[in-house]
Amino acid sequence: MNNTNTDVIQGTLDMLILKTLSLEPMHGFGIARRIEQITQNVFKVNAGSLLTALQRLERNGWLDSEWRVTENSRRAKIYRLTTAGRKQLQSEAADWQRRSDAISRLLKAQA
């Protein structure tokens, strides 16, 4: 294993989950795997943080969940983005974009 930091940037886990679920409904491990795949293992998602975040997001009304049998005939809790969740994702993404642009500009700044 290398020493690269794979922690999810603080405060962005919610956005990552919402974004992943905007692609399609999936279960907890599916979300973790998808985040790791898409970010090419830049972020590794901790199971505890993920499941707690799912509880929180669901309580906030951004996700709905439902126990379903998956294609490989195992039971899993499938999460789906709600309309409110979609709105939340848009605002969080826009916010993130604004801030990361600002940071990039600052880092590129030259004397």
Alpha-carbon span 21 to 73, nearest angstrom: 21
Alpha-carbon span 42 to 39, nearest angstrom: 5
Footprint (CB under 8 A) of another protein, residues 52-91 = 52, 55-56, 58-62, 67, 72, 74-77, 84
Q: How far is the CB of 92 from another protein (least distance, A)?
A: 15
Q: How far is the CB of 88 from another protein (least distance, A)?
A: 10
Q: How far is the CB of 22 from another protein (least distance, A)?
A: 19
Q: How far is the CB of 103 from another protein (least distance, A)?
A: 30
Among 48, 71, 98, 105, contact with another protein (rule: CB under 8 A): 48
Confirm or reject binding of residue 98 to another protein (CB under 8 A): no
Alpha-carbon span 82 to 64, nearest angstrom: 6
Q: Which residues contact 106 (CB under 8 A, 6 or more apart)?
A: none
CA angle 84, 90, 92 (to 5 degrees): 100
Q: At what angle do helices 28-38 and 13-23 cross, to 10 degrees?
A: 100
Binding site for another protein (CB under 8 A): 27-30, 33, 47-48, 51-52, 55-56, 58-62, 67, 72, 74-77, 84
